[in-house]
Structure formats: structure tokens, C-alpha cells
């Protein structure tokens, strides 16, 4: 099949390489247009587009629906595989390729439809995540399913680590979907029960409310790595909590119970904090931070 891979995320690198080295014909990548970034507002490509250039793959960067449709028609693409492309595809664009569009989604649909499925799954305390490969249609992750792969979550799972692993594991269900398409097999209609939504994460969701249960806060910290991070403040200085564990120690919500180890009270139980990132500084152990910050008791996180 003649295939294009559409993405704006480095998570699609494994997929791009796989199609490039498969029996299929990789026509190129599709990504978001270059954007201004940094203090100097220099124009740069995203990581996926840059990687395409690095390995010698043509990368198209349409800025309008008309440009996208023109690319699809000129390349005579037969199938497009998307992974975190971040663009709404119109009905006429969906109909141009012979076999349509496949979407690689990091959840077990219909649970967690939307932009942040892994983060929402970890924050909710789900015991599993996974990959779903489905045929893209106009609705939000509602299309019929070709293949799935389950991935277990535990009380140490972090979003950045899970996403990296799923980006490699997605090759298996992609291969299964491609074989089904080649054989003329139909995808299975997605269930309508058990639907949950995974909306885009807001920066404000990272702020820690110490009145919440310690288990919920632990999940928040792991779910929001690397962005937006789970953050709080102490003595007027913002600090991001990188790693913590639930503790059975008790104290007032936000109150520093102990400095060695660093224990902070929550609405129920407490958190033992092992790694932090102070504002405008590198990530470090909590013990290193405490030595420099000169924190003394009594003290509280806000």
C-alpha cells in the first residue's frame, strides 16, 4: 500500500521507521506547519518533521484543508496512518485515500476518547491502558476498531514512560490492521457503552491541592509528567514535585511533617517526596533541595 504517516509528535518515530522499512511504500510524512518558538521567535519544525528530514523522508506541512487535500490527491496515497497529528480531518479528506485513514490511539476505546488518554487513565487510577487502531471518521475517536493491545498500569506508572512504551508497542496492532485491510476484512463497530472523555490537559490542572487524598495526589504527579507537571509553592517559591510515594504518616494538609524523609500532609495520609524541580533550577533529590533551600520546621506547602 502507498502510505503517509501523519503526526506532530516524536511518539510517531517508531511508526514512521516501521512503515519505511516494511513492504509498503512510504510516501512521506504529514505534520503541522513550522512555528515561531523561543525568545528570538525563530521558525522551527516540530520533532516529528525534523526526524523526517533526518532520515530522508519527505514531510508535507499543509496549513489549510485545501493544501492537505491537494497533497493527498497528488501523492495518490492509499492509506494514511495518524498518531497524535492534532488536526481535525474533514469528511472529504477522509474519503480521498482508497483505504481511508487509520488512527493510532493510546487507550482501549471507547474508554478515554480525546487528546490525553494516558494522562487521564493514570490520574483516574485505571489498571490498564493500551493501543487501539481504528478507522478515522468525523466523530471524536468513534470509528470502527481494527485491533487493540492492552498495557498494564501500576502504582508507579508515569505518563512519559507509558507513552514511550506504547509508541513502540503500537507496531503489533498496526501490522494486524494492515493485514486485515489487505484481506478486505471489516473493522468492528465501536461500543457505545463505557465511553469516557480525555480532554486536553490545562496547565492549571498541575497545581496541587493538599486537601486531596494522598493517593489522588500521587496519581496526579505521575499523570502530569512531563507536562504540565504537578506543582506547589513554599515560602513564595514555586516547586514542581517530580516523584513521590504515598505514606501512612498523618499531618495537617500541606504541613511538612518531616524533613528526612520529606513528608507532607494531605487530606488523607501524606506524601513522601523524593525528587523535585525548584523554579528556574534543575531537577534534584528532595534532600539536595532542602540543603540549599534551608527549610526549617514548622513549614507548609501551599
- For the segment 110-148, what is each residue's pLDDT rounded down to a tens digit? 999 999 999 999 999 999 999 999 999 999 999 999 999
pLDDT at residue 44 in the model: 82
Distance (Å, rounded) from C-alpha 149 to C-alpha 137?
21
Q: Which domains does the chain have, with CATH numbers?
A: 2-182 (3.40.50.170), 203-293 (3.10.25.10)
- Dihedral of alpha carbons 60, 64, 67, 73, sign: positive
| Location of C-alpha cell 474533514 | 90
pLDDT at residue 270 in the model: 97
Cα-based distances in Å from 209 to 49, 65, 253: 38, 42, 9
- For the segment 43-56, what is each residue's pLDDT rounded down to a tens digit? 789 999 999 999 99
pLDDT at residue 294 in the model: 84
Distance (Å, rounded) from C-alpha 285 to C-alpha 115?
31
- Which residues share a beta bridge with 101? 80
Low-confidence ranges of the chain (pLDDT < 70): 37-42
Q: Which of 292, 297, 251 is nearest to 270 (CA)?
A: 251
Q: Find all residues with CB under 8 Å of 74, minimum gap 6, and list them.
A: none
**DSSP string for 122-157:** HHHT-SEEEEEEEE--SSSS-SPEEEEEEEE--TT-
Amino acid at each position: 500500500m502507498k502510505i503517509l504517516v501523519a503526526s506532530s509528535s516524536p511518539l510517531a518515530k517508531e511508526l514512521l521507521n516501521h512503515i519505511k522499512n516494511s513492504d509498503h511504500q512510504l510516501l512521506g510524512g504529514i505534520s503541522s506547519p513550522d512555528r515561531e518558538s523561543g525568545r528570538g521567535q525563530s521558525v522551527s519544525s516540530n520533532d516529528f518533521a525534523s526526524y523526517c528530514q533526518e532520515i530522508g523522508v519527505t514531510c508535507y506541512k499543509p496549513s489549510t484543508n485545501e493544501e492537505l487535500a491537494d497533497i493527498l490527491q497528488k501523492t495518490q496515497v492509499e492509506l494514511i496512518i495518524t498518531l497524535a497529528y492534532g488536526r481535525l480531518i474533514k469528511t472529504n479528506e477522509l474519503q480521498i485515500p482508497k483505504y481511508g485513514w487509520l488512527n493510532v490511539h493510546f487507550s482501549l476505546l471507547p474508554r478515554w476518547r480525546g487528546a490525553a488518554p494516558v494522562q487521564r487513565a493514570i490520574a483516574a487510577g485505571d489498571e490498564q491502558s493500551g493501543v487501539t487502531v481504528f478507522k478515522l471518521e468525523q466523530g471524536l475517536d468513534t470509528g470502527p476498531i481494527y485491533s487493540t493491545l492492552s498495557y498494564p498500569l501500576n502504582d508507579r506508572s508515569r505518563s512519559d514512560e507509558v507513552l514511550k512504551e506504547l509508541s513502540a508497542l503500537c507496531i503489533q496492532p498496526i501490522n494486524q490492521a494492515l493485514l486485515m485491510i489487505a484481506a478486505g476484512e471489516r473493522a468492528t463497530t465501536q461500543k457505545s457503552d463505557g465511553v469516557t472523555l480525555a480532554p486536553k490537559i490545562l496547565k492549571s490542572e498541575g497545581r496541587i491541592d493538599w486537601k486531596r487524598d494522598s493517593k489522588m495526589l500521587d496519581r496526579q504527579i505521575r499523570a502530569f509528567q512531563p507536562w504540565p507537571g504537578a506543582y506547589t509553592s513554599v515560602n513564595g517559591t514555586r516547586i514542581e514535585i517530580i516523584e513521590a510515594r504515598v505514606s501512612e504518616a498523618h499531618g495537617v494538609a500541606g504541613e511538612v511533617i518531616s524533613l528526612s524523609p520529606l513528608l507532607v500532609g494531605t487530606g488523607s495520609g501524606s506524601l513522601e517526596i523524593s525528587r523535585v524541580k525548584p523554579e528556574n533550577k534543575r531537577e534534584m533529590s528532595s534532600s539536595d533541595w532542602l540543603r540549599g533551600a534551608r527549610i526549617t520546621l514548622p513549614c507548609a506547602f501551599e
